[in-house]
Structure 1
């Protein structure tokens, strides 16, 4: 099979051995794969996959089941999307059958490729870890990103008003159209958020640059969920504010979680979130698609930090 590999900071469509399909697994003929910031880091040699995971890029994909291992209830021909530790940007991928979900009714395989990673991330961190409750106020940094776009919609669907920080006024308008109450353009500073807070939950992929602001903006018993380090890894932390406000700082990653954790997460997602796509209360924010032959252009575009929503690579155009 052919697959996308990161080679010296570039991505290349190369020949790779086909994986074997074992007990409890399914083989997916891949139609499309979502592009995530983790793919950028891996292609640059900065984020190796967990032990035992495929070296091929791609943390999510959509496609058609082409082989079913013993112990799985999926059937050949089922349309699915899957959460992966790697391997999605290939002509086929083998995955734990519990890590796949059906393509929501009414959605295309292209749209479905943009769902698993960002909705899993948003659901895990806001609702499972932070315990977000209806009516609580949320601050989403990088609100126009794939995860941010999913988080805005989930907050709206489950009754929690949210605000965002973004890179431009156009991206702020995009977030408000999705359901955000408002927010700020980061170059204008975060001080104006004080009048909108305090916030019960902060979802933070930025890290060091926003430490001081997060502590000031969080409410009593606030939860700060750190999911990335786009703004650096080291910062001073005023522990008096942490203590006085009883703030919980939660570091969270998904890719390295074990198979059972991911299976439980996908099961919860399938029950709580997936029906909302059919009801049109959630929608994939598919910004742009690229044929796999133009993968480098897609990686370059994502790296520009100008994308609102998700980029998707088309692997097999005959399926979409």
Structure 2
């Protein structure tokens, strides 16, 4: 049954790395989705640039600072800034001492003006001891409901911010609804601020939102749920999701996942299609159900046939034929999985 289930999964773009993945998937109670790149398309785009009138930095100069930093990072938000700057034909400046602070942002020294420049969230402003009054106003504005705010710093001055938004995958709402109908508790985890996270969760009707979480803290959130007796599935795609994929009772790496995430997960989706998550859970239920049926009929056969064979009621030839039929029936029952 496991072999047939694995084959059915592979045919549909769902790779089960181990046989016990079926049982793990069947027993889950909670499923946690990473937001960026999993529930959303993972291709964020710049929506607007807002300048801090106090410093009178024009849009193109703010974008120049931001892209000079972003070009050195592989983060999806950084790529959005870099791509937008290329579209606008913005020339970057030479930087040195580049640093990427996980869950906070980017910093470097601008060689042109010999000052520190930075791009990141409000946690980065705190780290750099930058006055965050303008940032707090921005966070409380309607802009924070549009998308992620990346604050731009030049020489300890918060000169503006960039609003970046990601589009929700077309199939996300349908998948969440289907999983909830199976009786699963659905949660979303993200490093985004609470307002953005809530907006996405409300649209998808997700039960629980875990927002403003540093990459290193994601696995700890999984562990918290496990301590409360939950059997947790984590669905993610990034390098930062790998510890959570390992910590969870079952890790599912999506088709666009990094190699590290795929190595950490027990189930790999060949395509970036969230409907495959739902299909994997359903296939696990069917496969495990078939295993139980096979065990029942094998046990039933042995309980009935062995005493009859010992007592001589069944001849050796008939007993051998019945045994062969029992094995064939198990195989035929297992093959039903591929047709369901």
Could you state the TM-score of these two structures normalised by the residue count of structure 1? 0.29
| Higher RCO (C-alpha under 8 Å, 6+ residues apart) | 2
Could you state the TM-score of these two structures normalised by the residue count of structure 2? 0.28
More strand by share: 1
* Structure label with greater radius of gyration: 2
